[in-house]
């Protein structure tokens, strides 16, 4: 079955080219993301798509967060931090917005958003694109959440870079025995 080879052959991109993605392509990926399993059909995922100048919003937020953490930070470190926003032509921030629900605890809603990210990643890979799923301190920083229009209680599950890769990570080998116990 070809889908097994597609999934097993995925790896993250290390670097992306400048080649932009069409809105239709990105919408296709987001439709796949939003088809993830969803207990209670709460649609806990939110997608913030940063393209072109839109990535500057994220760069500014990264810089503000860094300056708040370290007011004496040097210009080179600031530039390095800002450059994270421009690693790829498209940056999709995937967040979890939790709806209080008697049968669907928060962890299940976050897990659903993780599944949405994976759907997005596999969909991109299936089309010859590549992704890089990042988080880091910025994902938990209130300045960054605010700049992206999120509430403090929302969770940033990933900054997903998407584009045409120019350099890929090698495909990891899997040691199933280390993580599997069979009971029969
Ligand atoms: C929730 C989550 C957050 C991650 N955050 C980072 C990150 O901030 N920086 C990073 O280098 N890799 C991060 N990764 C891991 C990479 O996306 C990647 O999966 C890992 O380097 C393994 O490479 P591969 O995807 O090619 O197998 C994260 C993965 C997950 C699931």
Q: Which domain holds residue 112?
A: 12-167
Question: Distance (Å, rounded) from C-alpha 61 to C-alpha 66?
Answer: 8
Domain with residue 44: its CATH number is 3.40.109.10
Is 53 inside any structural domain? yes
As for how many domains the chain has, the answer is 1
Buried b (16+ CB within 10 A) or exposed e, 16-46: beeeebeeebbeebbebbeebebeeebebbb
> Which are the contacts of 155, defined by CB distance < 8 A and separation ≥ 6?
95, 96, 98, 110, 113
Q: Is 136 in the pocket of ligand 1 (CB under 6 A)?
A: yes
Is 7 inside any structural domain? no
- The 10s digit of each residue's pLDDT in 89-144 is 999 999 999 999 999 999 999 999 999 999 999 999 999 999 999 999 999 999 99
Q: How far is the CA of 183 from the centre of ligand 1 (A)?
A: 31
Which residue CA neighbors atom 27 of ligand 1 most closely?
11
Question: Distance (Å, rounded) from C-alpha 88 to C-alpha 98?
Answer: 28
Q: Is 158 in the pocket of ligand 1 (CB under 6 A)?
A: yes
Q: Is 19 in the pocket of ligand 1 (CB under 6 A)?
A: no
Q: Is 80 in the pocket of ligand 1 (CB under 6 A)?
A: no
Q: How far is the CA of 134 from the centre of ligand 1 (A)?
A: 6
51 pLDDT higher than 80: yes
Strands 90-96 and 165-168, sheet pairing = unpaired
Q: Across the chain, what does the average pLDDT equal?
A: 97
Is 180 inside any structural domain? no
What would the mean pLDDT of 39-56 be, rounded to a whole number?
Answer: 97
């Amino acid at each position: 079955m070809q889908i097994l080879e597609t999934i097993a052959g995925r790896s993250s991109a290390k670097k992306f080219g400048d080649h932009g993605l069409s809105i239709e392509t990105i919408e296709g990926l987001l439709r796949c993301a939003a088809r993830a399993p969803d207990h209670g059909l709460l649609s806990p995922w939110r997608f913030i798509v940063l393209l072109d100048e839109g990535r500057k919003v994220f760069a500014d937020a990264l810089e503000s967060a860094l300056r708040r953490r370290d007011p004496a930070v040097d210009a080179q470190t600031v530039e390095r931090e800002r450059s994270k926003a421009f690693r790829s032509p498209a940056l999709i921030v995937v967040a979890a917005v939790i709806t209080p629900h008697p049968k669907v605890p928060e962890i299940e809603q976050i897990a659903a958003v993780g599944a949405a990210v994976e759907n997005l990643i596999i969909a991109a890979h299936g089309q010859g694109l590549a992704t890089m799923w990042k988080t880091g301190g910025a994902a938990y920083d209130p300045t960054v959440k605010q700049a992206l229009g999120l509430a403090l209680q929302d969770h940033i599950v990933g900054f997903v870079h998407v584009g045409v890769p120019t350099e890929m990570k090698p495909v990891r080998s899997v040691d199933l025995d280390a993580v599997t116990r069979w009971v029969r």
